Structure 1
Amino acid sequence: MRSILPVTRRGLRESWRGILAWAIGLTGALALYLPLFPSFGSNGSLEEIIATLPPEMVEAMGYDQIGSGPGYAQGTFFGLIGFVLLVIAATSWGAAGIGGAEESGRLELDLAHGIGRVPYVLEVALAIGIRLGILGIVSGGVVALLNGPSELALSGEGITAGTIALIGLAAVSGAAALLGGALTGRRVVGVALGAGIAVYGYALQAVANQSDDLAWVETLSPYSWAYATSPLETGFSGGIAVLWALALVFVTGAMVSLRQRDITG
């Protein structure tokens, strides 16, 4: 009898040390940045520092609201450090899932043992989703624990929405990396697509912030879909749903691509 979700289970079993390391890294980043807010926010010194920076830089980095608790959490973790760390993690997992497996010969061996191509992609995507879910729970839990002591005044809905938006951005990069591997069988292409869409989204958001005439550009940015409505303050929005829909489109593209392409091993 064939075991249930063998690729997913193997992926999680082999990556638990990596998940632990990423969880520690995210916790460390939150513990480093969030408790600093009372030192800056209460006396307005943080806003004074931001005022000394070029307005273009402030707009590009999204620091215009950093004097508030939600704005500070967004500017330091959700929109920057956490975003970078989770995109790196998801992209590495996505690129290894198909492209890396094909380069090593593991993909060909797995398919020879009766695992269909479409189920293989779905199981790899599920493993990435579970990993990101674990890191999202860790991140959201740490933010909730530090919320009071750090005087951020975040609501439970805001923390949940912000975390799901952040994990959604990482999921888009992970799914894009999966698609890159499925299209070419190359890990490096997966890395390029996963990292590329993250940079693309962030860059478009930065461009859109430079001028009201360019505001329409943010409608093309996954980063904007996640954060344009400030989920830490306002909760869930349609943009977050669109973000997750894009990740599903990339996974579907990976299934179609792998199904149609010859596997060389």
Structure 2
Amino acid sequence: MKLNWDMLRERSGQEINNYLFYDNGDLVGFLGIYQFHSKEVEISGMVHPQHRRKGIVGELVRAAVQGCVLRGISKLIFICSNGSSSGKAFLEALGAQYSFSEYWMQLDESAGRAGIAKNVQEIKLRLAEPNDLSTIANLNAIGFDMTQADALKFTEETQGSPTTLTYVAEVRTEDENMRSVGKIDVRLENSKAFIFGFVVAAEERGRGYGRTILNDTIAAVKEKDRTASIALEVAVKNERALSLYESSGFRVSMITDYYDLVIMND
């Protein structure tokens, strides 16, 4: 189940994002809200197996919906494990509509990787610095269809996380300056690395930069922790990215479905 542990550990306390259900002092239900956009949130939750079919999920969702309405959030995106028939049935009864699916992919250390094309311009991957904030925010806005305000907030939070590394990819221009062509984030903790926030600038795509950035990122992770397992997520319909990841040694280990529920019009 996808619970976004890093966000759970780093809650600001300024708004309610965790909903808990107790039975005689025992925690038996949980629902978490994860916000990346100002007008929408992602939600995942769970109930102890011995306490299911008691309406607990419904209670948690109703409380979360009320809280989101007060915050001016118009869309809820529910995260559901692909194999959960009960989760799917609940969301359909709630009125949520299936939107898309994502593959969770794990790097297979024994798998071979496609080489880098010889005509690909040399890329330098370096850790982001404070003065890269606006560049990274712009790339996030373009890559993930965010407003500039949402992208800036997301970038600030990501770079402020003690477990996250942000890398900027650059190439050298004809006048010997460095030009940013992409960025990528890695959350590294307890020998587990998760790659996310991978963006190649729109005008720089189709030149083989993506494969170079990904391979260099894998090497950077292994340099910091050679035992680290490496994972990432990709939308099933993003065939180009999926092909890149598979040829770089990643294999699908889990499928997650996403359902949308609009609770109020903008």
If the length of structure 1 is used for normalisation, what is the TM-score? 0.23
If the length of structure 2 is used for normalisation, what is the TM-score? 0.22
Instruction: Point out the structure with the larger strand share.
Output: 2
